[in-house]
Amino acid sequence: MPEHTPHPFAEHLRAYLAHQRWFAGKGRDFEVTGRRVFPWLSGAGVEPAVRIELADIAYDDDAEPETYQVPTAYYTRPQEHLSHALIGTGAEASLGAVFAYDAMHDRDATSHLLRGVLEERTLDGLRFHYAGGIDRDFDAPALLMTGEQSNTSLAYGDVAILKLFRKIAAGRNPDIEVHRALTTAGVEHIAELHGWVEASWETGQAATAHADLAMLQRFLRTATDGWTIALTSVRDLYAEADLHANEVGGDFAGESHRLGAAVADIHRHLGEIFGTRQWVAEDLRAGAARMQQRLDVAVDSVPDLEPYAAGLRRTFDDLAGLTEPVLVQRVHGDLHLGQTLRTVRGWKIIDFEGEPAKPLVEREAFDVPLRDVAGMLRSFDYAAANLLTDHPGNSQIAYRAREWAQRNRKAFTAGYAEAGDVDPAEQAVLMRAYETDKAIYEVLYEARNRPTWLEIPMAAVRRLSGADEQEVET
């Protein structure tokens, strides 16, 4: 099995990682402390020489170390078309002087990943799994997909997509686990799983670690993501500022209703497959305490939250005061419009990985299904508001944006209620708490990454804290 060894391109790789969207350590001081390399995926003497490599990262602020996957393609000469993906140059054992590139940008290199799955290859420390649903003789060049933030995806023609997980955690990746279960159950609102890749290695403590590296699933050739469709609807509304949301040709409410029904169907299947439990009063108090802690962290980092903190805490106090048991189960964990695809066969839900920044144990933990509903409601607010920066001071446009969000929030929850067992409109305390928790997360995220977007979650904070109501009364 692969051993942990010093990284010969450590400084080069450090500089490369610092500029990658999928690397969560940007802006922090870190070092590449070593790597694990797996057997060559390419044949002997074939160029590029391709293999999967895992790089270990240590941070100077005493944060937990992390492991990132960087499949690497080695050439004996520079490749101008891959200059943007150059990791570094130097000497590599058994190859001599080489130019090392991120293999996910190299069509000649990424073909080995597809063949590995379809041929169910087994190498030292690597195992490729084939789950069916695609012709084993299929072959097509890979196209690197844009827009990914925490992973990297490749499209093989219009047949399959391979998602490569960049940040690696020991254990089964929830995206594979959930897609495999839902595919086996024949659930219609997902993209079918075709296969996956897993790795194993010795930890140095007489134990073996296992981790998932990638998954191959069906390409939805007619799909458009929900975020894009929603933004088109909002633009149509802005272009007809004297009309109401239900009067514009691009009204999204019907799609929101169908999307709510699709999410309810997914939740029903997740409950049937993985089981359900109940949170009693003690569990609800513990959940409320975790939300309070996240609020405390956010207030310390974003002082603009302080005037609204008392109102937000009352929301969590209300959650802690619930005494009736609440059903919990596996959930999506990071649901928003960007995690949905509209196809000719209806809505599909994607990316069941949860929030990649969270530890695996948290991402696969049971939670209230309304957490996903709250995430989608926040996404409607974002879709309505993110174009307002193009119309500063236009009160009529701002009013229409709020109307659009309210209309689609209501349609989504109605669709969810009709197709499921729970009506979000009848769960005011839970919904308010989960939406508040999500808005606080968004404030912290925007403050750190997109300050120009900070007003979007801050508007929700004012509403959820009751500050808007107090201003009206005053």
Interval 360-395: pLDDT, tens: 889 999 999 999 999 999 999 999 998 877 777 777
Asked whether the beta carbons of 179 and 352 are under 8 A apart, the reply is: yes
pLDDT band at residue 471 under the 50/70/90 scheme: very low
What pLDDT sits at residue 245? 66
Q: Report phi then psi at 91, rounded to 5.
A: -100, 135
For residue 248, pLDDT over 90 is answered with no
What is the per-residue pLDDT across 442-470, written as a single tens digit (0 to 9) for each?
A: 999 999 888 989 999 999 999 999 987 65
Q: Does pLDDT of 148 surpass 70? A: no
User: Which pLDDT score, from 0 to 100, does residue 474 have?
Assistant: 36
Question: If we measure between CA atoms, which residue out of 373, 406, 374 comes closest to residue 234?
Answer: 406
pLDDT band at 207 (very low <50, low <70, confident <90, very high): confident
Quote the mean pLDDT of the chain: 92
- At 159, the pLDDT band (50, 70, 90 cuts) reads very high
Helix extents (H) in 240-280: 253-274
Q: Is there a contact between 278 and 326 (Cβ–Cβ < 8 Å)?
A: yes
Residue 4 has pLDDT above 90, yes or no: no
**Residue-level pLDDT at 221:** 87
Q: Give residue 473's pLDDT.
A: 42
Give the model's pLDDT for residue 305: 97
Contacts of 376 (CB under 8 A, 6+ apart): 259, 260, 263, 335, 336, 337, 412
Res. 399 pLDDT band, cuts 50 70 90: confident
Residue 295 has pLDDT above 50, yes or no: yes
C-beta of residue 199 within 8 angstroms of C-beta of residue 126? yes
Q: Which residue has the tokens 């403050």?
A: 447
Average pLDDT over residues 97-105: 97
DSSP labels, 376-424: HHHHHHHHHHTTGGGSTT-HHHHHHHHHHHHHHHHHHHHHHHHHSS--G
* Residue where the block lists tokens 């929700």: 460
408 pLDDT more than 90: yes
* Band of residue 63 on the pLDDT scale cut at 50, 70, 90: confident
Confidence of residue 146 (pLDDT cuts 50, 70, 90): confident
| pLDDT at position 472 | 37
Q: Do 96 and 76 contact (CB within 8 A), yes or no?
A: yes
Of 22-31, 420-429, 450-459, the one with minimum mean pLDDT is 22-31
Within 13 Å, how many C-alpha atoms sit on residue 71's CB side?
Answer: 31
What value, to the nearest 5°, has the Cα angle with vertex 275 and ends 272 and 278?
125
**Strand locations in 299-354 (E):** 326-329, 340-343, 346-349
| 216 phi and psi angles, rounded to 5 deg | -115, 125
CA–centroid distance for 57 within its chain: 21
Bridge partners (DSSP) of residue 31 are 58
CA angle, 429 then 421 then 374, to 5°: 40
User: Strand 72-75 and strand 53-59: pairing?
Assistant: unpaired
pLDDT for the residue numbered 249: 64
Contact between 409 and 255 (Cβ < 8 Å): no
Name the residue among 337, 423, 330 with its Cα closest to residue 376: 337
For 217-242, what is the mean pLDDT? 88
Task: Work out the average pLDDT over 423-448.
Answer: 96
Q: What is the pTM of this model?
A: 0.89
Task: Place 250 in a pLDDT band, splitting at 50, 70 and 90.
Answer: confident
Whether the Cβ atoms of residue 29 and residue 61 lie closer than 8 Å to each other: yes
Centre a 10 Å sphere on the Cβ of residue 322 and count the other Cβ atoms it contains.
20
